[in-house]
Structure 1
């Protein structure tokens, strides 16, 4: 933990400005041993404490990303970006060009959104343009991948002529190093990702990476990745080893350091919108061609409940991935039956009654507003008439749900300002389309308050996890679009974790 004195900073009011007003003018903020110990004008600087002239900049609690796959995010920053690909033919052309330009180099791509493509793809057509070069094209939702035969064989997936989906893909993901020969997600790559996050004001994240575990995090922590706060999640296949090690949610993974701690058990209870595997109460518009017209659960209710119970009795919170409304209801049934604590991850399609149940059970709704930017058109296409229940943030807040924001990086960029902007405007700020179901929009204050790990306006006793902003994020605007555009332009002067500066702009 560190010590720091910030001179003349304005506090961003995240709590009720009537019942808990922030100081009207600039104040000094003193952080000692990682905790805010004094707030007010003209504070004396203790000997040996670093002093930073904030010069009237705005101070808020540090930002959190509540849903990150940090290894995949680190890898995606090095992979071929397929986000602009709009058809199987474009994907094939891209692969053919890359194979020609870099013969012998595996093609690993990420980012395309095949949910709106007019047809299914085949392994055979990818083989035609790739030959003996391994090709893996990971969809932007990370729930399936299009591989050629060489890659399928190398990963031990067996011959087929369709994409690899859901649990089979998740299990194969960590084997990609068989193709690349180098992991690409070592400590240097992680450190680079953490530094980029710190530059955006992020002080902490919940890591839902599929691979690795406590020992791997301890190792990279010792090799320079001790920059931000990290809550490390685990999956069911490692649950018993986590319990045997005595790890509970909140337990430090490194003795004496509360920045790296055990997080929740992660359960992926259904699929995704793009793969049409999210489990819904009603069929997809094109459900007649699907093996499961309404999507399906990834595990039966009794297994879901058993995992919740095992985690809860062992001191672990549970983070349950549930995108479809049927999956959300089943997850809430499991929480109610077991008393487990934790979160519903995504809650992309939800009824007003289940929003109230999330609140009544004391759960957090961990949502990713930037997903609505990509899923808007697909939702209208394959979930017609359900847009008013998609990303229903207003229902959740009005029901008293503890709403927290994240990115699901690499599905969306690890950028809290993109998430906040999308929550406020519910659309891209630089196009001419109207906001999508603006009745569910958040105000800038609500969106920012949902991005700081439920921390209040900075005060005595606050964590010394702070972000100093060059401009007022709650400045008045004439419209939600203008407010969202201003949030997207936010620049960070200083990011502080436990009183220790982890990012400083060149202007400070």
Structure 2
């Protein structure tokens, strides 16, 4: 193992092969590169070591700019990895059986220690989640389950009482569900326990070449990361987002997007996150046309979280206080409303998800400079439900190639825990648009490996003098030609990451 390097030291990495990113230029190398004060300051075929250099021999490995996950919920992701996995369930009865089996296996069940589960996907179930079904196997032991898309919670009566929620017969969704996330965290784990889970998740992310995340945690992201950085949980760059409920506090502290929260430039304030609609699986993504299975829906075209005037006012308020705006919009009507808000206010930022989009809105995005922050791995789970809900619109879903061809800046993320915090998984989904050897969904909207990689480096191009000192060493060439897109997609998540550097500091090493 190579010794840890502080961001303030000078690091000399010998014999690397820079992978071309955002360029058609051929490979160069091997070369040496030096990182000082967080930036690449020298790059040449052979550099003489400086007295303060810490020398790392890459031994001819391939080098790329550090990878980013542009949309994650870090606390939620860290916690979900240790929760009851109910993602295999194909019905409400399957989930209930998994919960019952889990309770039977507990040595000494504690009623003050809720069962937490994650991953059920009820969109195609014949019978929807019912509180009574969980009550039948859990009694007074609180059970709190989150859907795989994070937009629905299935709780038993004991959990509803524990959280101070009114009795109900079915699941809770979206606004109410999001509002109790902080309470669930406080009730189910101590701050110390949560931070240690986050520490482990950060280490695992670094081991996949991740150098930064945009953290969309629902509440307290700024204060949580300040605490974690003080504890030494600082192996990632973090942009901590703000939600409307926390905007006044952020403004009172004179914070805005880009405000640095540590003295090394690793922790900063991210955008203001605003919901324009819900989700596909909850049938709340806002669309121009009704859902194909809308007969029993109270809102056949999905749900609009804010009126157009209220959304515009909120975007304007964030913009005037120095915030970039991250507008959650999944349905095509929500994308249209979001773009109108950007248009009216002059705000900068992006649309999170942009899952269903009209072709006429792509030039609008480009003209407004609004980027598309997308999560390609979602398409692996959403194809079947899309066929049921939007059968006439499937060709407009996850339109990655159209966005890129239309001149829109595309950035990839995971929405962890909805999908794994692993950029290689997102890239693989963008390249093949299917799992394994399955037939790709809308193959014409696939990206090349090079395009997917370029959408995963936070805008950083091929490693060069002046660039960030965020470097990932790989044991194989990510751009090595493959006979099929499926083979490229298979290789990407298996790429061995030899080392990760953040500002020249080693955050992961298998050298």
TM-score greater than 0.5 by the shorter chain: yes
* Unpaired runs of at least 5, structure 2: 1-6
Q: Give the 3-state SS of the residue equivalent to 1:253 in structure 2.
A: coil
1:262-277 aligned within 5 A: 262-277=269-284
The corresponding residue for 1:362 is 369
Find the aligned partners of 2:46 and 2:187 in 1 and give their Cα distance. Answer: 60
The corresponding residue for 1:42 is 46
The corresponding residue for 1:424 is 431
Find the aligned partners of 1:204 and 1:285 in 2 and give their Cα distance. Answer: 39
Q: 1:389 aligns with which of 379, 393, 396?
A: 396
In the alignment, is the contact (CA less than 8 A) between 2:471 and 2:502 conserved in 1? yes
Q: 1:325 aligns with which of 321, 329, 332?
A: 332
1:38-187 aligned within 5 A: 38-102=42-106, 103-104=109-110, 105-177=113-185, 179-180=187-188, 182-183=190-191, 186-187=194-195
Q: 1:475 aligns with which of 475, 480, 484?
A: 480
> Which digits, 9 at most, give the CA deviation of each residue in 1:314-358, with x for residues without a partner?
111000000001101000000000010111000000011112211
User: Cα offset for 1:191?
Assistant: 1.1
Find the aligned partners of 1:132 and 1:183 in 2 and give their Cα distance. Answer: 25
The corresponding residue for 2:30 is 26
In the alignment, is the contact (CA less than 8 A) between 1:134 and 1:179 conserved in 2? no
Find the aligned partners of 1:428 and 1:213 in 2 and give their Cα distance. Answer: 33
In the alignment, is the contact (CA less than 8 A) between 1:11 and 1:22 conserved in 2? no
Find the aligned partners of 2:102 and 2:186 in 1 and give their Cα distance. Answer: 19
> Which digits, 9 at most, give the CA deviation of each residue in 1:88-134, with x for residues without a partner?
11111111112222233521100111112122221112111111110
In the alignment, is the contact (CA less than 8 A) between 1:75 and 1:185 conserved in 2? no
In the alignment, is the contact (CA less than 8 A) between 1:473 and 1:490 conserved in 2? yes
Find the aligned partners of 1:31 and 1:178 in 2 and give their Cα distance. Answer: 41
Find the aligned partners of 2:226 and 2:190 in 1 and give their Cα distance. Answer: 20
In the alignment, is the contact (CA less than 8 A) between 1:251 and 1:262 conserved in 2? yes
In the alignment, is the contact (CA less than 8 A) between 2:428 and 2:493 conserved in 1? yes
Find the aligned partners of 2:255 and 2:197 in 1 and give their Cα distance. Answer: 27
1:443 equivalent to 2:451? Answer no
Bigger CA drift: 21-30 or 310-319? 21-30
1:490 equivalent to 2:495? Answer yes
In the alignment, is the contact (CA less than 8 A) between 2:23 and 2:462 conserved in 1? no
Bigger CA drift: 45-54 or 96-105? 96-105
Aligned length: 500
Q: 2:246 aligns with which of 238, 260, 269?
A: 238
Q: Give the 3-state SS of the residue equivalent to 1:211 in structure 2.
A: coil
* Unpaired runs of at least 5, structure 1: none
Q: Give the 3-state SS of the residue equivalent to 2:360 in structure 1.
A: helix
1:211 equivalent to 2:219? Answer yes
In the alignment, is the contact (CA less than 8 A) between 1:71 and 1:185 conserved in 2? no
The corresponding residue for 1:411 is 418
User: Cα offset for 1:179?
Assistant: 4.6
Find the aligned partners of 1:375 and 1:437 in 2 and give their Cα distance. Answer: 13
TM-score w.r.t. the length of structure 1 is: 0.96
Find the aligned partners of 2:250 and 2:185 in 1 and give their Cα distance. Answer: 25
Bigger CA drift: 209-218 or 287-296? 209-218
The corresponding residue for 1:342 is 349
The corresponding residue for 2:237 is 229
User: Cα offset for 1:360?
Assistant: 1.1
In the alignment, is the contact (CA less than 8 A) between 1:155 and 1:178 conserved in 2? no
In the alignment, is the contact (CA less than 8 A) between 1:187 and 1:223 conserved in 2? no
User: Cα offset for 1:398?
Assistant: 0.7
1:369-384 aligned within 5 A: 369-384=376-391
The corresponding residue for 1:460 is 465
In the alignment, is the contact (CA less than 8 A) between 1:364 and 1:403 conserved in 2? yes
1:500 equivalent to 2:508? Answer no
Q: Give the 3-state SS of the residue equivalent to 2:231 in structure 1.
A: helix
Find the aligned partners of 1:213 and 1:407 in 2 and give their Cα distance. Answer: 18
The corresponding residue for 1:193 is 201
Bigger CA drift: 206-215 or 157-166? 206-215
> Which digits, 9 at most, give the CA deviation of each residue in 1:415-445, with x for residues without a partner?
101000000000112xx42111110000000
> Which digits, 9 at most, give the CA deviation of each residue in 1:62-110, with x for residues without a partner?
0000001001001101111111111111111111112222233521100
1:251 equivalent to 2:272? Answer no
> Which digits, 9 at most, give the CA deviation of each residue in 1:133-181, with x for residues without a partner?
1011100111011111111111111011010001001111111146535
1:297-312 aligned within 5 A: 297-312=304-319
Distance 1:349 1:185, change over 3 A: farther
TM-score w.r.t. the length of structure 2 is: 0.96
Q: What's the C-alpha RMSD, in Å, of the aligned pairs?
A: 1.3
Find the aligned partners of 2:426 and 2:413 in 1 and give their Cα distance. Answer: 7
